[in-house]
Amino acid sequence: MSALPPKPRYRRRRIFWLILLAAVLLIGIPTAFAAAPTMPWYPVQRLGENMTTALVPVPKVKQGLQAVFAARRVREAKVLAQGMRGQPLKVQEREEKMIGTLLDDYNRAFQEITISLGQQVDRGDKPPTGLFTTIENASTHLYLQLEDLRMIAPSAAQASVLQAQETAQGNLATLADALDHPPVSSDDAKELTSLVAAGLLSKDDLTKLISGDQSNREFLASLRTAVKNGTLPSNALAMIEYGQVAHYASGSIARFRAEVDFDEMRKIALLIKALTPTGAEKKSIEAALAKYVPGQPVAVGDQGQFLRPILLGFSLAPRLPADLTHLDPVSFEPGRKLFYETWKPLTTSKATDAKTLYSQALSLVDQNVARNTDLLEQIEFEVLNALRHDVVYAALPPGWTQEQVIKIQPAFKQLITDARTAETLQKQTAATTTSLIGMTAPLAVTLSNKQVEALRQETKSAMADMKKQLTALSMGVAVPNDTVTTINKKLDDLNTHVDQSLQGMTTSAAPATLTQEVAELRASLKQALDAAHTAMSDVQQQVATNVGISGALKQALTDLSTAHDQTRTELSRHVTALTQASGATAKMQQTVTDIMADSGKNVAALSSQITDALKSQATLKASLSQSIQDQADHAAELKAQLELSDAARQALKDEVVSTISTVKTAQDAVV
């Protein structure tokens, strides 16, 4: 007799256990061996997660698994950020994108979970207190991990971290509503009161903010609005979590507070390093600060974008020395590590006054943080990236809004362009100065004749003055446009003077060898002066067609005028000294002639170097019009992207709500 086929019930049960076993193997084995997306088992781990989630029939259990897997994405991003230092550039760029992708996955999952939980709370569904307290504990630790990640994540991923923090805090507020926590605890009120003491918030405004019948989610929304309009600093959002972090992770509260304060102080220092107020703005700010009394609100007026960061800096500076001792900069991203090393000397400061400590902090930044194009471009990149992710309010110091960022974007781009031009001039100046040092090396030779020794010292001093003038090329100070005409006239006068002086020397009772050397010197000097004259004529034509010549070029013309004035004087001294020494021995005559020849070479080299610097301005002029048009186009594109982002986000929200409603209806129908 043949065996009976298995009953369908047992067949279904066997298939279920086989699928469950496969899921356990797919998720368990990779989880045990894979810790980051760069490991070979990682794709299998993600496949196992997706299969496990799909097999779970209970919606609430499914959401729980999604939350666990989403939290894992944050840990994976942190592992990537910690390990990318020292990697090749291409590997770092690839891992930066991975971090952004991981945090995007976290955001999608937790936003759905938070929306679903909020709907349950609004319906009046009471969750199990014990279970949700455990979830709140886990969510608090996740929020701490995101703050740690903010310290170590590369620039390209900073906006994704800020967005993840926004999502995590929204989830914490929803959990607090589910557990019937009051929106403002005594710890929260105490922290927010410190903003009143700093002069950033009045007592009446604080009362309005924390009073009234509002939920945790409504209070968080009000706080975000105050941060977005520039009234409150972004660290106010972290302040309301200090009590919860102290409750669930007491061992981490000191580090958490230190990271929040440190990053806010860094944003203030970057703002002051990047942007300089006008003269009128400085007077207004100084007048307001002169009236500053801790504990009293300050009338911000039109200078809020500068005054509010300074007031917050006064509040943070006294805590900065202690905060630094709670930070671990080993894995910090380069920008934050630079600021940590810059401020580390404050840990031994004896100062206790807020203004003094604040001044010391900014002074250290001036000494150690270079205001170059790399710094300005990093600021622009991080702010615009946060703008695209709609979290720019968390990347700005108080007093700054999204609208202000969009408004100053073209000017900030021009600031970067000007800085790049200045750096180019500085490099040219350094190269020219090095060349001058080499050319003036013969002047260091000590000669016995007193007249020649005096001439040597005077020439050496003149060359030092020329080096100082070259350094001034990169300062960009404006001068009148008729400078070129003045320099041309001085060049003509110098040419005539040298020619007459040399002519007089050849007709004097000088040896025949000196007459030949003077003729050669005359030809060399005439060639150098003719080249300078030609270069200045070219510049004169450029000035005639471009009245708005850049400040850097104008400064170069002024410096050239000064340099040639000095050169004319020194050459006149050379000729006089040479004439006086013409009756000396042949050796002394040869020495003086050599010095004259070196001086002529110096003039020719100096003229060539400065002519090159002037020609480099033509490139700046040629690209100016196109740069302005590009900035206008980019501003329009950015505005369109923002409008599209708002519409897309609303459409996505509507779609999610609709999908959840449809699924709920289907579940109810099945039941």
Q: Please give the full DSSP string across 99-155, using - where no structure is assigned.
A: HHHHHHHHHHHHHHHHHHHHHHHHHTPPPPHHHHHHHHHHHHHHHHHHHHHHHHS-G
Q: Which of 250, 361, 383, 365 is nearest to 315 (CA)?
A: 361
In 412-479, DSSP assigns E strands to none
> Which tens digit of pLDDT belongs to each residue from 434-454?
665 555 554 444 434 454 455
Q: Which of 333, 344, 308 is nearest to 235 (CA)?
A: 308
Residue 195 has pLDDT above 70, yes or no: yes
Give the confidence band of 180 by pLDDT, cuts at 50, 70, 90: very high
Structure tokens at 293: 């009394």
Q: Which of 484, 366, 376, 381 is nearest to 422 (CA)?
A: 376
Q: Which residue's entry shows tokens 């040479």?
A: 578
> Which tens digit of pLDDT belongs to each residue from 295-322?
666 665 667 788 889 989 999 999 999 9
Q: Are 292 and 199 in contact (CB under 8 A)?
A: yes
Q: Are 470 and 436 in contact (CB under 8 A)?
A: yes
> Which tens digit of pLDDT belongs to each residue from 482-504?
444 554 555 455 555 545 554 54
Cα(first)–Cα(last) distance of the chain, in Å?
44
Residue 391 has pLDDT above 60, yes or no: yes
C-alpha count within 13 angstroms, C-beta hemisphere, residue 396: 31
Give the confidence band of 197 by pLDDT, cuts at 50, 70, 90: confident
Q: Are 389 and 346 in contact (CB under 8 A)?
A: no
What sign for the dihedral angle of Cα 110, 112, 115, 118? negative
Distance CA 71, CA 115 (A): 17
More confident position, 648 or 336:
336
User: Domain spans of the chain?
Assistant: 415-627
The model's pTM is: 0.63
How many CB atoms sit inside 10 A of residue 162's CB? 25
Determine the average pLDDT of the residues in 222-234: 92
Q: Are 486 and 560 in contact (CB under 8 A)?
A: no
* Widest CA span in the chain: 143
Determine the average pLDDT of the residues in 190-219: 87
Give the confidence band of 550 by pLDDT, cuts at 50, 70, 90: very low
How many CB atoms sit inside 10 A of residue 231's CB? 20
Q: Please give the full DSSP string across 265-277, using - where no structure is assigned.
A: HHHHHHHHHH---
